[in-house]
Structure 1
Amino acid sequence: MTIILYQAGASEGHHYRKTGQLPDISVQNLIDCTEPYGNSGCNGGLMIPVYEYIKDNEGVGSEKSYLFEEKARECRFKRQNSVVTCTGYVEIPEGDEKALEIAVGTACPASVGIDAGRPTFQFYFDGIYDESTCSNGID
């Protein structure tokens, strides 16, 4: 569920930057409704399916209109409750720090995915995370 939370935050931030209004996007809406796009409800998700869902459905609901329930349920999104829309997105190549710098500096907040599968990361709690066997994917 972490990726979906961050995706909601990036979408809220982009909307604020564009309009000056900070919406509260329903994470539950994204959990419930992005499974057909390849996400796994409370078991995790990816960024692109969230953007595709918001784009295809012309929005995502507010937290107030689609309350968090701590479990995946059937999608109940109603377009009239939409608080944020998406007209497009850019996928930055893995490991391209310069492209990320340009995107954040000129376009919008970014969602960044990381490999959180290592036990050292899952139980991390303080300080600078450093995993000696972790690869950044750059040769």
Structure 2
Amino acid sequence: DWDERRSIPFPLLAPLARVPGITLHVLQRGRGLTEQPPGFGVVSGSDNILQAARVMRALDLVISVDSMTAHLAGALGVPVWSLLHAEADWRWMDGREDSPWYPTKRLFHQEQPGNWVPVIARVADELAVLAGAMVQASASP
């Protein structure tokens, strides 16, 4: 079910789109797509779970709020970063950045209810580090 606490408006995600060396794939489905700014990533979402799984398997990383998308990526063993609201479900254990349920999942907790800005900034910083490392690795002989 849709939960406002697990929803991030597209404009707040703009720092992710500015990370050099990446291509965003938007896995969002349904009404949220109407908020997507023009040029903000490639729409790759699907209501078909098998198609969604195929898309995820082809990605280097999935970034998502606590949703079916995040759980599917974790179950597939795809690296996934989950953005969690301040009162996240008990499964995401306060104070932990990892998940005992999904070894490829990294957790980014909101510190203040409703304030996604510092979470997105941290994710963008970490994404820039990851993208830089991937560029270096691909350039190595």
**TM-score > 0.5 by shorter chain:** no
TM-score when scaled to structure 2? 0.28
Higher strand share: 2
Larger Rg: 1
